[in-house]
Amino acid sequence: MTQASPSESSPSTRRPGTHDVHLRIHPSPHPFVRKGLVRDAPRTARTGDIVTLLSPDGVVLGDALWNTKSDIAARRLTQGDVRFDEAALVQALRRAVGLRRSIPGLVESSEVYRVVHSEGDGLSGLIVDKLGDVLSIELHSAGWADARWLDIIIETLASELETRHHHVVMSPRIARLEGVRPKMVHDPKRPAKFRVREHGLRWEIRFDTGHKTGFFCDQRDNRAAFAAWVDGHDVLDLCCYTGGFGITAAALGAPRSVTGIDLDEKVLETAKRNAGLNQVRVSFTHADAFDWARQIGQGDRRFGAIVVDPPKFIPLRSEIGVGEGKYRDLNKLALELVEPGGTMLTCTCSGLLSLERFRELVMAAARKANRVVQVLGVSGAAPDHPVLLECPETEYLQALWLRVW
């Protein structure tokens, strides 16, 4: 969020062109303002409007993106008396692009990277990935779907990044939370499938079968790092999606064998094509990761290097208990498959699960599996996914590097 000096955070009357929203209490610095905190809001404000947040004593707290139906009534975009308008949006987008250009080696090593990381870039609810010539835009706020903002986002980023196509999506789950209909739009000439490069490898991206923005660029650095641990080992990529970890390991390392497991049959077809594109041999199996690992665990087959990268098991606070159980159970099954002295990389992409709690779940899994585990390191998303300190959810990806005995 754009910062304001203390002198700017003074009692203020309504500023021209804004809607004043009075809050019941002075909120935390977190960008989310829940509707329960709103004391009074003008009925004329509609979803996509910029509103000015005021404390109970009239202090201007900043501008926010308004939503009339979501539990997150306002998403803070500035602090103090700093205005948010079309020019501010363009400035924020250019600042986000500038960060990516400053990350050492990013643009040179990959045609795929995150350009806007929601709260991490001060644009709550907006995610944009550059996938080669395509801007892949994922909306977590209905406000950004308003043409006033979406057109500026597409035009500014296409000009800055020299992309030719765009793809915009709001998933059914997010749309339900935002009180609107799901959204999927793209320019008429956007290809249904295309290829990009990362770490010198080629990857096929398909919007008709892919998840999220089309490619998980957050694991870029972890994929390359994992490949350094696989030489001479049988490798297991559990929940392999389109083969990112397994194929990178086979191409950049020297494993004895690589096995990939995923429940989504369509993405496995893409994984097989990706293996072919990079001329590596990976054995892909269509199966539920839990069932497959449980069955293999009853036999003698073991792996010297395993990566566990499941989908988000905790999408909502109401599902924390169930999701934690899934993380614990899957890690227990995976730990039982690691050779003594082998390596395991285990990940969670649930922003509602802290690193400390994830460690506790993995510890509980190790005890159930009767394995001794050493933590070799901790990592997260690649640096094109900046974390806003006031919003811990932006540090959603947690990865533990383990040695298992």
Distance separating the N- and C-terminal Cα atoms of the chain: 45
Domain presence at residue 196: no
Asked if 266 and 371 sit in the same domain, the reply is yes
Burial of 274 (0-12, 13-18, 19+ CB in 10 A): buried
Radius of gyration for the alpha carbons in the chain, expressed in angstroms and rounded: 23
Residues 314 and 392 in one domain: yes
Does residue 266 share a domain with residue 126? no
User: Which stretch of DSSP H or E encloses residue 198?
Assistant: strand 193-198
Q: Are residues 246 and 322 in the same domain?
A: yes
Domain that includes residue 97, residue range: 86-191
Shared-domain flag, residues 263 and 390 = yes
Does residue 401 surpass a pLDDT of 70?
yes
Confidence at 13, pLDDT banded by 50, 70, 90: very low
pLDDT value at 7 more than 60 = no
Residues in a beta bridge with 235: 258, 305
Q: Is the pLDDT of residue 343 over 80?
A: yes
Examine the fold and report which residue of 76, 106, 131 is the final residue of a domain before the chain moves on.
Answer: 76
Domain membership of residue 332 (yes or no) is yes
In the numeric block, which tokens belong to residue 280? 């590596």
Q: According to the model, what pLDDT value does residue 208 have?
A: 79
Compute the mean pLDDT over every residue in the chain, rounded to the nearest whole number.
93
Residues 6+ apart with CB under 8 A from 124: 31, 32, 65, 75, 76, 77, 118, 140, 141
Residue 26 lies in a domain: yes
pLDDT of residue 215: 84
Cα dist from 71 to 33, 38, 68, 141, whole Å? 9, 11, 9, 11
257: left (phi over 0), alpha (psi -120 to 50) or beta: beta
Give the C-alpha separation, 363 to 373, whole Å. 8
pLDDT of residue 3: 46
The CATH number of the domain where 336 resides is what? 3.40.50.150
Residue 8 DSSP label: G
- Cα 165 to chain centroid distance, Å, stands at 21
What is the DSSP pairing of strand 19-23 with strand 50-54?
A: parallel
Beta bridge partners of residue 166, listed in sequence order: 135
Final residue in a domain of this structure, among 49, 76, 103: 76
| Helix or strand (DSSP H, E) at 329 | helix 320-335
Write the DSSP assignment of 64-78 as a string of letters.
EEE-SSSSEEEEE-B
Q: Are residues 369 and 260 in the same domain?
A: yes
Going by pLDDT thresholds of 50, 70 and 90, the confidence category of residue 210 is low
Same domain for 368 and 222: yes
CATH number (domain holding residue 67): 2.30.130.10
On whether both 352 and 316 belong to a single domain, the answer is yes
285 domain-assigned: yes
pLDDT of the residue at 4: 41
Average pLDDT (125-129) is 97
> Residue 12 — pLDDT band, cuts 50, 70, 90?
very low
- Using DSSP's 3-state secondary structure scheme, residue 85 falls into coil
Checking if the pLDDT of 10 tops 50, the result is no
Residue 254, pLDDT score: 98
Distance CA 91, CA 70 (A): 27
pLDDT digits (tens, 9 = 90+) for 232-269: 999 999 999 999 999 999 999 999 999 999 999 999 99
Lowest-confidence pick of 39-53, 80-94, 196-210, 383-397? 196-210
Residue 1 lies in a domain: no
Residue 402's pLDDT is 98
Residue 150 shares a structural domain with residue 169: yes
Task: Please name every residue paired with 400 in a beta bridge, in sequence order, or none if there are none.
Answer: 346, 378
Q: How high is the pLDDT of residue 27?
A: 87
- Taking the C-alpha atoms of residue 262 and residue 338, their distance in angstroms, rounded to an integer, is 18
| Within a domain: 187 | yes
Does one domain contain both 181 and 239? no
The pair phi, psi for residue 127, each rounded to 5°, is -125, 130
Tokens of 394: 């932006």
Q: Is 107 part of any domain?
A: yes
- State whether residue 402 is helix, strand or coil: strand
Q: Distance of alpha carbon 343 from its chain centroid, rounded?
A: 25
Residues composing the chain:
405
Q: Structural domain tally of the chain?
A: 3
- Same domain (yes/no): 17, 160: no
User: For position 269, what pLDDT does the model report?
Assistant: 95
The residue from 42, 76, 110 where one domain ends is: 76
Give phi and psi for 359, each to the nearest 5: -60, -45
Q: Are residues 243 and 263 in the same domain?
A: yes
- What confidence tens digit (pLDDT) does each residue in 171-183 have? 999 999 999 999 9
pLDDT tens-digit series, residues 91-106 = 999 999 999 999 999 9
- Specify if 81 maps to a domain: no
- Torsion (CA) 329, 335, 337, 343 in degrees, nearest 10: 140
Three-class DSSP category at 320: helix
Which are the contacts of 337, defined by CB distance < 8 A and separation ≥ 6?
A: 236, 293, 296, 297, 301, 302, 303, 306
Give the model's pLDDT for residue 171. Answer: 93
pLDDT value at residue 8: 37
- Is there a contact between 68 and 45 (Cβ–Cβ < 8 Å)? yes
| Strands, sheet with 60-66, edge to edge from the N-terminal-most edge strand | 32-34, 72-76, 60-66, 50-54, 19-23, 38-40
